[in-house]
Amino acid sequence: MIQVISFYAFSAVTIAAAVMVISARNPVHSVLFLILAFFNAAGLFVLMGAEFIAMILVIVYVGAVAVLFLFVVMMLDINFVELRQGFLQYLPIGGLVGLVLLAELVLVLGSWVIAPDTASRASAPVPAAAEVTNTHAIGRVLYTDYIYLFQAAGLILLIAMIGAIVLTLRSRNGVKRQNISSQVSRTREESVEIRHIEPGSGV
């Protein structure tokens, strides 16, 4: 009974937080609602017995991705009024993407009706006789069957991180920056100037 109540509570808060992520006008509030959705999704994973995935969700997404989102939102000087002006222009593309996602969800939900044993196979990919832990089972599947996809995901995240750094890097006029190569390659004549000062004349 407690598990059922916890499931509905976590699910309701997750759905409400997800709706607020896309409906909040303040981008900082959207990031905070995203963190709330991550925490409640981690609670759902704990109820399913996937405590390792729940911990990874909290550590990686809440501790890194959400903080990165908040950092980018606060560091970039984005005029959100100008971004909202072209909303109707991209509405057909957004609607098409929404229809594709809806079709995928229908296929996932329809697979339970066509093949009822799909959910049981997905929830227990490792035979019960092989007594392995949750982390061992995930590592066995991830680093054997999906190793190439895992490496591709790492490259995509690396590119995204470089893109975030490039977006936050600004060049301002009048700001002195250190150029190590020019400092190392300069000669003695460029860096040292000898002046002969007459006694009593000052500098």
Residue owning tokens 């959910």: 119
What is residue 152's predicted lDDT score, i.e. its pLDDT? Answer: 93
Q: What is the DSSP letter of 138?
A: H
What is residue 155's predicted lDDT score, i.e. its pLDDT? Answer: 94
Query: CA–CA distance from 28 to each of 12, 57, 73, 79, 171 (Å)?
Result: 22, 20, 7, 14, 25
* Sign of the C-alpha dihedral computed for residues 162, 163, 168 and 172 taken in this order: positive
Judged against a pLDDT cut of 50, whether residue 129 lies above it is answered with: no
Judged against a pLDDT cut of 80, whether residue 169 lies above it is answered with: no
Picking from 17-31, 141-155, 189-203, which range would have the lowest pLDDT averaged per residue? 189-203
HSE on the CB side for 34, CA within 13 Å? Answer: 20
- Helix 147-168 crosses helix 66-75 at what angle (to 10 degrees)? 20
What is residue 159's predicted lDDT score, i.e. its pLDDT? Answer: 92
HSE on the CB side for 137, CA within 13 Å? Answer: 18
Average pLDDT of the chain is 77
CB contact at 8 A, 30 and 20:
yes
Mean pLDDT of 131-148: 82
CB contact at 8 A, 6 and 47:
yes
**Torsions phi, psi for 83 (to 5 deg):** -65, -35
What predicted TM-score, i.e. pTM, was given to this entire model? 0.52
